[in-house]
Amino acid sequence: MNALIRQADRYVVIGNPIAHSMSPFIHADFAAQLDLPLQYERVLAPLNGFVQTVAALKAAGVKGANVTVPFKLEAFALASARPHTLTSAAEFAQAVNTLKFNADGTMLGDNTDGGGLCRDLNRQLRVLGMHLEQCQILMIGAGGAASGCVAAFQQAGVQHLTVLNRTVSKARELAQRAEAIDLPAAGGGFDTPPSHFDIPGAPVVIVNASSSSLNGEVPALHPDWFQRAVLAYDMMYAAEPTPFMRSLSNRDLPCSDGLGMLVFQAQQAFEVWTGQAPNALETLTKVRQALLAKAKQQ
């Protein structure tokens, strides 16, 4: 047998549904860039069968998994039990989107969503001559997507986090949890002006982490927030600008959807698994093209 033939390491993305996932496209591109023999597949787990699915994949020699809706909380519970380990980002989020299966049978649970968001924000801020360390975040929403990013904001050196949410108590609770990890934070309702909080004068990056776009709705922020805003970011993405982005189109404010977050969170997961860093920007260009091509066909 040719000794030079390398056995492909197997990775998967587990979800339900999963057919729409772009992760196989992204990871195949990363592997091709680095000439790594890596196989990445979609796995549809039964809604009541996540734990069994993970056990079967581990037994089959799979090296790692991305975990998506609706299993991130179950993945957290699984990786919380000893002798497994969790990263601080996963612990804060109480959700896991990346599992690494170690050779000794243990697993690492990580959450790369927030790290991916911060990488994309810094990429876009760099174009403006800025960095997250100089900025404060105004985050809309206080659900799972929002809490998944708070630890990464703290690690990225963000100056201050304001959480505004439809249910105000949840915004305040998330802000309190942020403060407990030394990220200065405050919470309130959508109509709260910046002056209501004693926040520093750093440039504002607005991040929409609410799922309101799914209903075509856009939270109405107090207009004063836009005076110091330098970038607006919607975690949702689509071939077309999202409702949140469209609502800002008459403002002189750079706006982005969350496709970059998807690719950069995958880049971070790929690094956790392989120790190698692919060029995410190159992949993002291809993913954007694929998304547009798919929309044209429909």
Dihedral of the alpha carbons of 31, 33, 34, 35, in degrees to the nearest 10: 70
**Is 170 annotated as catalytic?**
no
What is the Cα–Cα distance from 216 to 65, expressed in whole angstroms?
Answer: 32
Q: What is residue 88's three-state secondary structure?
A: helix
Q: Are strands 204-208 and 185-188 parallel, antiparallel or unpaired?
A: unpaired
Work out how close the CB of 105 gets to ligand ATR at its nearest, in angstroms, rounded to a whole number: 31
Binding residues for ligand ATR (CB under 6 A): 141-146, 165-167, 170, 210-212, 215, 217, 219
Which of 63, 72, 100, 170 does the annotation list as catalytic? 72
Cβ proximity to ligand ATR, 87 vs 208, nearer residue:
208
Find the shortest distance in angstroms from Cβ 269 to ligand ATR: 18
What helix, strand, coil percent values describe the chain, rounded to 5? 45, 20, 40
What's the closest the beta carbon of residue 242 comes to ligand ATR, in angstroms?
13
62 closest CA partner among 46, 43, 81 = 43
Q: Measure Cα distances from 82 to 78, 175, 269 in Å.
A: 9, 29, 22
Cβ closest to ligand ATR, residue 121 vs residue 125: 121
- Nearest residue to ligand ATR by CB is 143
Q: Is the dihedral of CA 234, 95, 91, 102 positive or negative?
A: negative
Report how far residue 3's alpha carbon sits from residue 33's, in angstroms, rounded to the nearest whole number.
23
Of the pair 167, 276, the CB lying nearest ligand ATR is at 167
Give least dist CB 140 to ligand ATR, A: 7
CB of residue 215 to ligand ATR, shortest distance in Å = 5
The whole-angstrom separation of Cα 71 and Cα 14 is 8
Rank residues 195 and 215 by Cβ distance to ligand ATR and give the closer one: 215
Measured from the CB atom, the residue of 143 and 203 that comes closer to ligand ATR is 143
Distances (CA, A) of 104 to 54, 100, 109, 219, 236: 16, 11, 15, 48, 37
Contact 188, 166 (CB under 8 A): no
Q: Give the catalytic positions in this structure.
A: 72
